[in-house]
Amino acid sequence: MIQRFTDWRKRLIIAFTLGAKKEFKYGSHDCCLAVCDCIQLMTGTDLGREFRGYKTEEEAHKFIRFYGSLITLTEHVTKALEIPETFLGRMGVGDMGVVRGQEAREALCIMSLDGRNVYSVGRGTGWMVHPKTAVLKAWKI
């Protein structure tokens, strides 16, 4: 089980601010690792440590396909770290989920500070904003 630092909200603001300036790049700021970076800043735990190191779209998709889908990969990681699944209605600020992103692909997302929208990373710079209702599955961080 992971725990948030006492100043997690300030850390999340920093992560969102930094992420807003970054351009999409596989293996550093993509639909998985951007959210893992936010959670690492809030908790000190790197959810992406098992799969960091890929550099291309093909490598990323190969790793996801090994688990079947991004949801099953996320289930694998969260189970190993004892991170509980949560009902979408109970998803709070800083919690993680999977949303249908650009080109109908699954993407990790994180609950924004307003508690109504989630952020994910798509191709381009910064965060994509989705309504909380677009989340397919969620976990309590």
Residue 113 within any structural domain of the chain: yes
Name the more confident of 49 and 101: 49
Residues 40, 17: Cα–Cα separation, whole Å: 15
| CATH number of the domain residue 73 falls in | 3.90.1720
Residue 38 within any structural domain of the chain: yes
Residue 2 within any structural domain of the chain: no
Average per-residue pLDDT for the chain? 94
- Is pLDDT above 80 for 8? yes
Residue 3 within any structural domain of the chain: no
Q: Interior CA angle at 96 toward 78 and 88, to 5°?
A: 105
Name the more confident of 3 and 102: 3
**113-124 residue pLDDT tens:** 999 999 999 888
Name the amino acid, one letter, at 47: L
**45-72 residue pLDDT tens:** 999 998 899 999 999 999 899 999 999 9
Give the pLDDT confidence score for residue 51 in this predicted structure. Answer: 87
Residue 110 belongs to domain spanning: 8-139
Give the pLDDT confidence score for residue 102 in this predicted structure. Answer: 67
Share of the chain above pLDDT 90, in %: 87
Residue 57 within any structural domain of the chain: yes
What is the arithmetic mean of pLDDT over 70-77?
96
- Is pLDDT above 90 for 1? no
Residue 1 within any structural domain of the chain: no
**Domain tally, the chain:** 1
User: Are the CB atoms for 43 and 8 separated by under 8 Å?
Assistant: yes
How many CA within 13 A on the CB side of residue 29?
A: 18
- Is pLDDT above 70 for 103? no
Residue 43 within any structural domain of the chain: yes
What DSSP assignment string belongs to 16-71? HHHHHHPBPBTTTBSTTHHHHHHHHHHHS--TTTTTTT--SHHHHHHHHHHHSSHH
Torsion over CA: 126, 7, 116, 140 (sign):
positive
- Is pLDDT above 90 for 100? no
Residue 48 within any structural domain of the chain: yes
